[in-house]
Structure 1
Amino acid sequence: MLEELQRVVDALARRLGRAVAVDDLDFRLLAYSAHHGEGDEMRARVILSREAPPEALAWLRRQRLGRATGPVRLPADNALGILPRVVVPVVYQDVRFGYLWLFDTDGSLTDQQLELASEAAADAGAVCFRERVLSDLRTAQEGELVRDLLSDDGQTRSMASARLVEGGLFAPRGDVTAVVARPVPTGPNAVDEDGRMALRAALNTVSARLGDRGSLRLVRPDHAVLVLPSAALRRSPALPELLRATSLDRLGRSTTWRDVHVATGSPARRLDDAVMSYAQALDALRVAEVVPTFAPVVEHASLGIYALLAGQPIDQLGAHGVHPAVRRLLETDLQLFTTAELYLDKAGDARATAAELGLHRASVYHRVRRIEDVTELDLSDGQDRLILHLGIKVSRLLGLV
């Protein structure tokens, strides 16, 4: 698209002997011509950064260009370093894509020249329209293939993998990793279409950093999936946090969403096996929902024993109920439950447990004896420690704490 836009811009600049530029709807620079002896401070800043600075954006929004249906003459603003110019909406089939700009410092642009500029803006609109249609087709095709890639059927996954690579939608670069983002509602809210559009926009923003064919995207009913080369994640380990921040930004300030949790699976050796990394990321999200210390950004590799437990169906975990020893602990004193969990997490290190809880070691020893009395387990016995530790973690996954 950019090459075609550049041809439109250069052709108009030659015919008018003036500098020409095309921006998108957010006033980000898409294409620009040579200066032809014209320019101002603002144009130089835009060319360097590819977007208008905040003060220029405020000025542009005050011009109400979204209402324009034809060429509009804009006055100078000496404080901002802006010379007089003409802006023409870039529109095709009643869809607005951006703006075409011309310098007109002396107001000498004729009606005939403005007509040529309007024709060029229409040509630019046609280019943008074709690109949008192609982009929508690629997105739809990618979405269908990524759904197949993450299916339960091995043959379906293999065919999808081959088509993604052969169709030029993904460039294989070794092992791949799945990253999943899920909004956390403040109540019993579901992710609606606006929420899914926000997640899709966040995915597109993060995916753009990975370059052409650098990632695969999919938005599901309540979460978004990004599949990318593991090497890219190793180079940019902050990508999951970026996806979270971008998702929060796109969702906007609302009482509907409390947060966005993002989870990363372990690397899968082949694209065909991306479903394994995806399943691990979903398991990690499940843990983060009930064990807040893992939220908001979690890696499956950091889950410890929860990685094993979360991989089990929730109905099987609770099929036989919580172990009686854990049940008694929960019913007796939640403080003892917390102490038991921390003590076992610290491998029975009373000193470390005391430091974490802000207690004297003698107080920890006293609580350990109380825990043994309540649970009827001997915490000096490895088998009993394992029973209690697993039971505590299962109770958390079942949402009992």
Structure 2
Amino acid sequence: MRMELQRIVDRVAARVKRPALIEDRRQRVVVYSEHSGVLDGVRRSSILRRHTTPEVIAWAREIGIMDAREPVRTPACPELDLLPRVCVPIRHQDLLLGFVWFIDENTGMTDEDISAVAEAMPDLSLALYRENLLGELASQREAEATRTLLVESPEARREAVRSLLTDGVVTSDGQVTALVAQLVVAEDEMLDDTARIALEHALVATRHWVGSRETLHLVRHDHGVLLLCGGRNTGRLAAQDAAAHLDQALRGAIRGLASVARTVLGIGDARPRLYDSVLSYQEAFQAARVGVQLPALGPVVPWPELGIYRLLSGMDARHLDVARVHPGLGRLLGDEAHQVLLETLETYLDLAGNAHATAERLRLHRTTLYYRLQRVELLAEADLKDGNERLCLHLALKLGRLTGQYQPGG
């Protein structure tokens, strides 16, 4: 089918004497003709990366190409290094399949040129429909099997593993590590289709970097999943390398998207078999959730390094109440005047009650440190000499961070 599409696009390009490029409805490059003449940054990037950037996708959709049923002349956009174009929608029985793009610089396309393109539309739409159908069936089978690995019953997961191995989607049933990519939306924003497309582009780019047959990916409602499959790519260092690449790819993909404030990646522990992907995924998902709540942890959050947050992140929301852990500390959290006391207490407890180390870390005189700790004891009705009290106070502070009730400045 791809060869048929290539023949058609070459014929159309020769007829109108200008290069043509075909994208599917998600604006991924399918085929393109030989290029001569003016070439802008968007065409060059699309050919090299095999997909259009999220910024260009957003720009094109604002112009209305998704609803177009006739050719659309699009203006130049110097900010995106994009020249004027003619976009011809490709439809099959009114179903949008994709677009044919022509750069329309200097000698613009005439109505006769556009009519020549329209004459080729029946053949082009049928060929692209067949191409899309085959590609969608394959990708849907892979996506469904990956989804089954992450949520379904043991029997269904075993069948999903058999399907992935039989179809040659992955090379072996070896060790697996899950990464979860969470896009943190800006205030009063929602995760839109453009952001999800950016997320999928980053996941696919990382799959190509790692090895397409050693990875699986899935875009869910509010996050993306990357599974590293096969022993040599799933150790801790390999997972961190993949996470670093995915983090970089995400940053590039969301650049210019006002709806996304930042990204967080969670890494689960490796598991011995593909069947156990769900366990690594659950850990990666929880790690990403903690990273969303605690920006100080950085953009990549490995599950094994979360410490007490491994326990707290799995607690029922009804139990995430600081006052239940330590009522006295719960009262202090509600007053910003006590913030410095809480930060001093947390540092003291993080350093195992070492007053000397705490004073150095906070650059305090020892007398000031003792005064603050005594104030905490008085206001929270606590005894720092009691090990159980110190445990409850420390746990309450970490719980406060996770729930947003306690937000230290450092």
1:92 paired residue number: 91
Distance 1:267 1:135, change over 3 A: same
8 Å CA contact 1:196–1:219 kept in 2: the answer is no
- How far residue 121 of structure 1 moved from its aligned partner, in angstroms, is 5.2
Aligned to 2:77: none
Residue 322 of structure 1: which of 322, 325, 347 is its match?
A: 325
Out of 264, 282, 285, the residue aligned to residue 282 of structure 1 is: 285
Q: 1:198 to 1:371 in 2, by over 3 A?
A: same
Contact 2:309–2:398 (Cα < 8 Å) also in 1: yes
Which of 234, 237, 241 pairs up with 2:243?
A: 237
Paired residue secondary structure (2:324): coil
**Is 2:398 the partner of 1:393?**
yes
SS of residue matched to 2:301: strand
- Quote how far apart the aligned CAs of 1:272 are: 1.7
Deviations 1:15-56 (A, max 9, x none): x79775434389987545568xxx4353999569727999xx
Give 1:2-401 correspondences, 5 Å limit.
2-10=2-10, 21-24=20-23, 30-32=30-32, 39-40=36-37, 42=39, 50=47, 69=70, 89=88, 91-93=90-92, 94=94, 95=96, 97-99=98-100, 118-120=118-120, 122-151=122-151, 153-172=153-172, 174-184=175-185, 186=187, 191=190, 195=191, 197-209=193-205, 210-211=207-208, 212-213=212-213, 214-220=215-221, 222-229=222-229, 231=234, 233-242=239-248, 244-245=250-251, 248-249=254-255, 252-254=257-259, 259-294=262-297, 297-316=300-319, 318=321, 321-324=324-327, 326-327=329-330, 330=333, 333-373=338-378, 374-379=380-385, 384-401=389-406
Give per-residue Cα distances to partners, 1:267-287, cap 9 Å, x unaligned: 333222221222223322443
**Secondary structure at the counterpart of residue 181 of structure 1:** strand
Q: Deviations over 1:64-106 (max 9, x none)?
A: 996795799xxxxxxx9x9xxx978362325362336699x99
Q: Deviations over 1:166-221 (max 9, x none)?
A: 3344444642213131544635x7x5xxx35345312320132113443220313x
Cα contact 1:90–1:125 (8 A) shared by 2: no
- The letter for the 2-side match of 1:159 is E
CA distance in 2, matches of 1:313, 1:355: 37
Inter-CA distance 117–291: structure 2 relative to 1 (3 Å threshold): closer
CA contact (8 A) 2:12 2:20 kept: no
C-alpha contact 2:27 2:98 (8 A) present in aligned 1? no
Query: Which stretch of structure 1 is more off in the superposition, 202-211 or 368-377?
Result: 368-377
Question: Using a 3 Å threshold, how does the CA distance of structure 1 residues 306 and 123 change in structure 2: closer, same or farther?
Answer: same
How far apart, in 2, do the equivalents of 1:364 and 1:125 lie? 75
In 2, Cα distance between the equivalents of 1:309 and 1:208? 32
Structure 1 segments unaligned to the other structure (5+ residues): 73-79
**Structure 1's 48 and 346: CA in aligned 2 closer, same or farther, altered over 3 A?**
closer
Task: Determine if contact 1:378/1:385 at 8 Å carries over to the other structure.
Answer: yes
Tell me: CA distance 1:185–1:272, structure 2 relative to 1, closer, same or farther (3 Å): farther
Contact 1:90-1:122 at 8 Å conserved across structures: no
Q: Secondary structure at the match of 2:151?
A: coil
How many residue pairs match? The answer is 371
Distance 1:4 1:358, change over 3 A: farther
Distance 2:123 2:152 in 1: 46
Aligned twin of 2:78 = none
Q: 1:318 to 1:330 in 2, by over 3 A?
A: closer
Q: What letter is aligned with 2:161?
A: S
Please say if residues 350 and 361 of structure 1, whose CA atoms lie closer than 8 Å, have aligned partners that are also in contact: yes
* Counterpart code for 2:90: V
Alignment deviations for residues 335-362 of structure 1 (CA, whole Å, 9 cap, x no partner)? 3222111112133344543354343343
Is the CA contact (8 Å cut-off) linking 1:314 and 1:398 kept in structure 2?
A: no
Q: 1:223-269 CA distances to partner (integer Å, 9 max, x unpaired)?
A: 4433344546444332443465367558x425xx6555443323333
- In 2, Cα distance between the equivalents of 1:22 and 1:338? 58
CA RMSD in angstroms, aligned pairs only? 5.0
* Structure-1-length-normalised TM-score: 0.69
Q: In structure 2, how many angstroms separate the alpha carbons of the residues matched to 1:44 and 1:395?
A: 48
Q: TM-score, normalised by structure 2?
A: 0.68
Helix, strand or coil at the partner of 2:39 = helix
Q: Provide closer, same or farther for how the CA distance between residues 235 and 125 of structure 1 changes in structure 2, counting only shifts above 3 A.
A: farther
Decide whether aligned partners of structure 1 residues 304 and 98 sit closer, same or farther in structure 2, where only a CA change above 3 A counts: same
Deviations 1:121-178 (A, max 9, x none): 5433333232333444444444433332222632232222332333344444642213
Report which structure shows greater RCO (CA 8 Å, sep ≥6): 2
Q: 1:223 to 1:237 in 2, by over 3 A?
A: closer
Q: Which shows bigger deviation, 43-52 or 349-358? A: 43-52
Report the identity percentage. 29
Hey, what's the Cα distance between the residues in 2 that align with 1:116 and 1:365? 85
